[in-house]
A and B are shown apart, each in its own frame.
Chain A
């Protein structure tokens, strides 16, 4: 009897999928690894935030996918039609079928402007902008350059979104950019959110709410957009409020891949339902169990930020568990929801947020308690330089799967817990 090594099939060659493919080769070198993606473009997505302001060039954020994937990996280019979970195979739109022993869904999340009436139209990528795609970010750079003042409205359609702090960062950077270009006096900057404050977590919401106030940014909360009226240039909410704009920068509804829905593996936003500690598929509503299916990165419905840091930390936990499964053992490693996000605040500074499922972002120092050098929830020049430098770490260490020396589990060392959080409207409170 011949032994044939197991096949791991990875759907998606973004941050999570690339890391999985590369790390599996190191720990289970005899396994077959196949990765499916629709194209060969890998963008450093945090760069989308910087492109409109000329802080990153398009060339700096775009690479070939293959360049970062271990050459022993079989790469298949194509669109996934659906996962045939009972048959342990994935069907591509081309008709090709790929068998697997283990499946990792890492197909991410996509902005869906088509889901909000009026968002797509004549003004799309002109007066109605987004910075969640390469094309959108590039168009916004040009539209901002032509902006002569008026109402600049930054808007979030609905949560969850990829990188939930990015709209705030965009607002801070826009404030700074407008000042530098002598346009701030002529511009009303407005931040429109479906949340009841600047951010979700109370301490961060308060700190970031202050940052908006300091910059004279108007905050419109609890705004659930019903439609965009491009003729009247207004956002309309379900409770019939109107927010006029001259230049709108929206974050469209984010959704997981359509094939997740076709495969019966997703929730109402097409995110794969998973156990939040193992990222193993957790069927809902009486669907059959498939312990060989996992989802990593933005494609999963983990109750934490959709962010590269979460992809990174959760992939490390997954790989440790996969090795145990490969040896017929039980998975013992548990992901704690750890996220670690730099927040650009303009003027060459940034804040750092560090949190998990149980603990909200706190003030303090990171990664060395009491020393830093990074300061949590406080603006510093060093945080900003670290964020800029991260692009190099991403290309050269993170994607290839080299150890970064950060433990996946969050640490409380060096952090300053607060008393019970104040009511949600804390971000509006004056101090």
Chain B
């Protein structure tokens, strides 16, 4: 696994740049990860990001876009507005989680 330095910290990431260890994540790191993909986090971004963190801790996996939408009440269109083009993947990236299993 490659190692990279983000916000002055050495971090293990996978070949797509997702954090390998979700426990390495902090909110400050989230801000920096978002900046790396061109997103400045606002409170509107933090609602789904915090949900992803909580849900991943409870369920052991990254929630799908549908789950984020139904559980937070934020509609899918809005999530596309906050995290353009690939909201499921970008939210997982910012939240320091593996990308959701699109399924099998």
- Please report A residues at the B interface, Cβ cutoff 8 Å: 158-161, 164, 194-196, 200-201, 222, 224, 226, 238-239, 267-269, 284-285, 303-305, 339, 420, 422-424
Known: A239-B80, A284-B59, A420-B15. A200 touches B102 (CB 8 A): yes
Q: How far is the CA of A351 from the CA of B66 in the complex (A)?
A: 32
Q: How far is the CA of A303 from the CA of B80 in the complex (A)?
A: 25
Q: How far is the CA of A361 from the CA of B46 in the complex (A)?
A: 37
Q: How far is the CA of A167 from the CA of B43 in the complex (A)?
A: 39
- Residue of A201, A268, A269, A285 near B104 (CB, 8 A) is A201
Q: Is B85 an interface residue (CB 8 A)?
A: yes
* B103 engages A224 (CB within 8 Å): no
- Please report B residues at the A interface, Cβ cutoff 8 Å: 15-16, 58-59, 61, 65-67, 70-71, 76-77, 80, 84-86, 89, 101-104
* A200 engages B66 (CB within 8 Å): no
Known: A158-B66, A268-B71. A239 touches B84 (CB 8 A): yes
* B76 engages A238 (CB within 8 Å): yes
Q: How far is the CA of A101 from the CA of B4 in the complex (A)?
A: 55
Residue of A with least CB distance to B71: A268
Closest CB in chain B relative to A83 CB, distance in Å? 21
Question: Which residue among A161, A268, A303 has the maximum number of chain B CB atoms within 10 Å of its CB?
Answer: A268
Closest CB in chain B relative to A35 CB, distance in Å? 28
Closest CB in chain A relative to B85 CB, distance in Å? 5
Known: A222-B85, A238-B77. A160 touches B15 (CB 8 A): no
11 extra interface residue pairs, beta carbon distance < 8 Å, beyond A303-B104, A423-B15:
A194-B102, A196-B86, A196-B89, A200-B102, A200-B104, A222-B85, A238-B76, A268-B67, A303-B103, A339-B104, A423-B16
- Looking at chain A's contact residues, the main secondary structure is loop
Closest CB in chain B relative to A186 CB, distance in Å? 33
Query: In the complex, what residues of B have CB within 8 A of residue A239's CB?
Result: 80, 84-85
Query: In the complex, what residues of A have CB within 8 A of residue B84's CB?
Result: 239
* A305 engages B16 (CB within 8 Å): no
- Residue of B70, B85, B104 near A164 (CB, 8 A) is B104
Known: A200-B101, A238-B80, A303-B101. A269 touches B16 (CB 8 A): no
Closest CB in chain A relative to B8 CB, distance in Å? 26
Query: In the complex, what residues of A have CB within 8 A of residue B102's CB?
Result: 159, 194-196, 200
Closest CB in chain A relative to B63 CB, distance in Å? 9
Q: How far is the CA of A201 from the CA of B104 in the complex (A)?
A: 7
Closest CB in chain A relative to B86 CB, distance in Å? 6
Closest CB in chain B relative to A54 CB, distance in Å? 30
Query: In the complex, what residues of B have CB within 8 A of residue A422's CB?
Result: 15
Query: In the complex, what residues of A have CB within 8 A of residue B65's CB?
Result: 224
> Could you show 22 A-B contacts with beta carbons less than 8 Å apart?
A158-B66, A161-B103, A164-B103, A164-B104, A200-B104, A201-B104, A222-B86, A224-B65, A224-B76, A226-B76, A239-B80, A239-B84, A267-B67, A268-B66, A268-B70, A269-B66, A303-B101, A303-B103, A304-B104, A305-B104, A422-B15, A423-B16
